[in-house]
Amino acid sequence: MRLTDPRAVPTGEPFTFTFEGRAIEALPGETIGTALSAAGILAFRHTASGVPRGLHCGMGACWDCLVAVGGHVNQRACMTKAKPGMQVTGTCADLPAPLSMPWPSEEARAPDVLVVGAGPAGLSAAIAAAEAGAGVLVLDERAEAGGQYLKDTPAHAVMQPDRQFRAGYVLRARAKAAGVEILQDSVAWGAFPPGEVHGEIAPAPDPDHAATVAALRGGHALALRPRRLILASGAHERPVPIPGWTLPGVMTTGAMQTLVRSGRVSPAERVVIAGNGPLNLQLAAELLAGGATVAAVVETAPRPGPRAWRDALRMGLRAPDLAWDGTRYLLALRRAGVPVIWGATLLGCEGEDSFTALRIATASGEQRIAAGVLALNHGFQAETGLARALGAAHRVGAAGTLETVTEEDGRTSVPGVFAVGDGAVMGGARAALARGRLAGLTAARDLGHAVPDDAADRRALHRALRFQAALWRLYAAPPLPVPTGDTIACRCEEVPASALQGHGGAVAARRATRAGMGRCGGRFCGATLHAILGAASGEAGFAAPRAPVRPVPAAALMREAPSRGHHHGTADPPLPAWTTAPPAPVPADCDVLVIGGGVVGLSCALHLARNGADVLVADRGEPGLGASTTNAGSLHIQLLAYDFDDTGDPGPLVSTLALGPASVALWREIARDAGEELSIRTEGGLILADDADTFGWLTRKVAFESARGIEATMIGAEEVRRIAPALDRRFVGAAWCPQEGQMDPLRGTAALIRLARAAGARIVPGLDVTAMEPSRTGFRVTTPGGTFHAGRVVNAAGPHAMRVAAMLGARLPMRLIVQQVVVTEPGPPMLRPLVQWARRHLSLKQGDGGHLLIGGGWPGRLDADGAARLLRWSVQGNLDIAGRAIPALSGLHALRAWAAPNILLDRGPVISETPGTPGFFHAVTSNGWTLGPIAGRMVAEAVLGRETPPPAFALG
């Protein structure tokens, strides 16, 4: 419904577009979501499981209101402006249309100060720095500056604006007068360390380069290298995961307020508002003023008692205008006869295809409140993605959400980088204004500009924080109940709370269920998952940061870059600074100790345990969560394209050729024993040739492999197009191996853990082996908690196998490298085989869920603390090569990318007992996902004394 307000006049004439063939009226400046809500349409699309979804967060954080616009799939209705004649549907096209192709070359800029976010904190920071003389550039994802709190009314002119609107007008005008350049509709998709040029990182901090921020604006790509970076990314509402909360018509209070204040719209005539805090009262009063009916305001905090008057007095002294607003809202609700129900518990939502009623429990019993829409708010969570990507220190706040650790002026632990406002830590709009100004002044001072005294700004900050503390005490509510049973915990992947149990650890649960791996990147559901899983303390309990921080068109990230990273590595990798498992107590002695709970170690333990050995698997983190579940799941049989040089001699790697088919057969045995398919698909593999010379090179490679028992042939261009019609027509032929394929590494690793435990293996997370020494009957093993004894030891520590070997004086011929994987949103079926490109770094496949997984050896980097980080040029170069191979990629969004350590050997695998140290075995291999089962079994047979590994795999 359109709300009535004589003070708000439309700025233009209505027009129409279509939604699923139905004509929808819209006003100039409105989003698709606003117009559909005005028409009473609540369900915008259906998920993969067939359930309806609609507008929820209203600010682009949850990615639930997706629609297709003229064939461009997965556009956010809450952020996409409606246009005359636009054709909108809730279904995907058979093949996605290119997203604004072609993209021009990347524009590089180096402002004095870059501010990300144009809410109260961002605008305040920008104004302070610019008025001091700094050149300031602001990026903002919205079409209008102001953020959630100071949002404008793009479709209406407000004749008598309230104080909140006026504050936004003043800040925008002041920023313009100060010379601040604001780029609206701009998405900062990643933040990277300073000094990165084609993979090289500056060895020391650069005072004139705080970071590189990669961004998109319209059809342009930006690489921004500011001298100082101020992150003011704002916050979004915490999920309120109660039964039925994913129904269309259930949305956040912020989403409803955006519709009401910015669009003068309510999706239904009758609304119920529930949760915690005064924002709910403001929304109720604004709905009433516009002609809607408010069924009730349900507050989970208890009704303020006599003691609350002290806090109310403090609030009135420190911000009398805000205190009066709260009183005014309550009086308006009382006059309208709207019940305000205090101390309630939210039980769940009713409805089939959309919301119909809210059930609550109160001291007087259970109630059912019927309405067409439910608005929910129970607090907010900071948008910390860019700060985390840069490695800034974070903590878990009292509300169970991540906060960026900053000084009073917003400085983070990263030199030159500031984080302010609710995007760092919750404090309200006035604290955000003060912190933003302090950060802007400090940044300008750093750059040599004279700035005014900031004592008054610090007093304003302290006053705002004291007001906020009193407000939180007044509205102190019990924490949200942790969702259970069938209640959805992760909206993107439709994961119920019950599915997260029984996986052994927080990260394992997320990887086994894909919770937090959808379009929102875990930003929206992170606190919920943390509460359910009882995750590790601090930042380790949350999903790792990755780029892009939100989905962006893959085409926009495609930039040609040198494919030179595969052969770079380090022989002395640092250990990650933190793990996701608490320290384990000292275990009992064992017959065989397997160090490393990845696919190789688990396969070894499974075979040993099935043969009666007392085997203990020690992993310093959660088992199976290193390279085993950060790879893309390829099953390679042919030699990788970059393992066969122009001489036609791959050297010692030839010894691994016979292992591939045997290991894939073992994977099928594991799937059979686990009782699930593990998404194993062996529908063939292509290595593509794009010219006659490469075709000839591949012909020699296939002849070499065929002579050694590998089923491989050369095929021409027509056969390539028949097998994979979505590939570009540039390819003149390919090497074809029908035995190759892919599988799901998350499910495969989880199956191995279950089978090994069922066979009797003891798998201990959080057990870090720090030293070993030979003893009369085996080895004395030292851990942080004490020592135990092992008869024999298997080094299956993957990227950290060098460290383990060195404990007993051995040296392994390996290096650690960091490789990346990029994954897109689901697309229509277009690619069944595994695809490589000869002489290019590309591995490409489509999973059963429709995602394209893109790898091929493009490198990441290791931080000093051992964390694997992405490189911007590497992500862009990888997508560029993939887009040349499969043009349909240009119509999809890149969901996320990640980097993980991997092994680079100068020969075949090391499956061997250590010369001179009997009982100390190694099981280390490149191509570890494919070869993991066979490598684990071979070393287990050696430990059991039943079979000696081939001499080609011997250490030394």
The predicted-structure confidence for 43-68, as pLDDT tens digits, reads as follows 999 998 999 999 999 999 999 999 99
Closest by Cα among 943, 941, 938 to 953: 938
| Predicted TM-score (pTM) of this structure | 0.92
The residues near 884 (Cβ < 8 Å, ≥ 6 apart) are 728, 730
Could you identify the residue written with the tokens 């000093």? Answer: 864
Strand partners, 272: 296, 374
Residue 306: the pLDDT is: 77
Residue 200: the pLDDT is: 54
* More confident position, 231 or 820: 231
Cβ atoms 20, 32 nearer than 8 A: no
Residue 533: the pLDDT is: 83
In this structure, the number of other CB atoms found within 10 A of the CB of residue 239 comes to 27
* pLDDT greater than 70 at residue 393: yes
Residue 225: the pLDDT is: 95
The predicted-structure confidence for 901-929, as pLDDT tens digits, reads as follows 888 886 679 999 999 999 999 999 988 89
Residue 204: the pLDDT is: 55
The predicted-structure confidence for 193-231, as pLDDT tens digits, reads as follows 886 655 555 555 577 899 999 999 987 899 999 999 999
Query: What does the block give as tokens for 472?
Result: 């939180």
* pLDDT greater than 70 at residue 406: yes
* More confident position, 540 or 825: 825
The predicted-structure confidence for 126-139, as pLDDT tens digits, reads as follows 999 999 999 999 99
Cβ atoms 722, 675 nearer than 8 A: no
Ranges of beta strands (E only) in 805-849 are 814-824, 834-837, 843-846
The predicted-structure confidence for 294-305, as pLDDT tens digits, reads as follows 999 999 999 987
299 SS3 class: strand
Cβ atoms 414, 289 nearer than 8 A: no
The predicted-structure confidence for 839-885, as pLDDT tens digits, reads as follows 899 999 999 889 999 999 898 888 777 778 888 989 999 999 999 99
Residue 785 C-alpha from the chain's centroid = 34
Could you identify the residue written with the tokens 């819209």? Answer: 26
